[in-house]
């Protein structure tokens, strides 16, 4: 396998966040409504349909699960930082969240991603919980 670098790790986290968005939401089972279904008027059907992404592939879900294990190598603030960036939040918002400058937030993110790449290249065993 090729050696991991920070760009590959960052791309894998971004893909994991995208895959997580494609998964179906959590639904409560066992609840139902006894109300009759609402009969919509014809003109109500011309609204903009919700944008539904294509469902996640099984391979993407497996990669996401593997990537989520990598997060165990980071402390809690690093986890949030890496995931915020994986969700493509702007550096301005991330810096505001951490009450620091954008370049400082970027340096902390870069350090976290490098730490994961170093652990992957050294094959540090994942913590079993």
For residue 10, give the 3-state DSSP assignment.
helix
- Chain CA centroid to CA 115, Å: 18
- 34 assigned to some structural domain: no
- 33 assigned to some structural domain: no
CB-hemisphere CA count at 13 Å for 3?
5
How far apart CA 65 and CA 57 sit, in angstroms, is: 12
pLDDT at 129: 45
Predicted model pTM: 0.75
Instruction: Count the Cβ atoms, other than its own, within 10 Å of residue 37.
Output: 6
Which residue range is the domain that position 101 belongs to? 1-22+55-122
The domain total for the chain is 1
How far apart CA 31 and CA 43 sit, in angstroms, is: 30
- Chain CA centroid to CA 58, Å: 16
pLDDT band at 43 (very low <50, low <70, confident <90, very high): low
pLDDT band at 119 (very low <50, low <70, confident <90, very high): very high
pLDDT at 24: 79
pLDDT band at 83 (very low <50, low <70, confident <90, very high): very high
How far apart CA 112 and CA 106 sit, in angstroms, is: 10
């Amino acid at each position: 396998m090729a050696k991991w670098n920070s760009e590959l790790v960052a791309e894998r986290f971004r893909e994991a966040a995208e895959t997580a968005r494609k998964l179906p939401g959590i639904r409560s089972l066992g609840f139902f409504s006894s109300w009759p279904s609402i009969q919509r008027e014809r003109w109500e059907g011309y609204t903009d349909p919700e944008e539904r992404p294509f469902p996640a592939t099984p391979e993407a879900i497996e990669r996401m699960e593997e990537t989520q294990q990598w997060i165990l190598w980071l402390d809690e603030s690093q986890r949030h930082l890496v995931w915020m960036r994986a969700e493509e939040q702007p550096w301005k918002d991330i810096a505001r969240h951490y009450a620091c400058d954008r370049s400082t937030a970027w340096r902390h993110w870069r350090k976290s991603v490098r730490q994961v790449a170093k652990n992957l290249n050294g094959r540090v065993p994942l913590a079993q919980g």
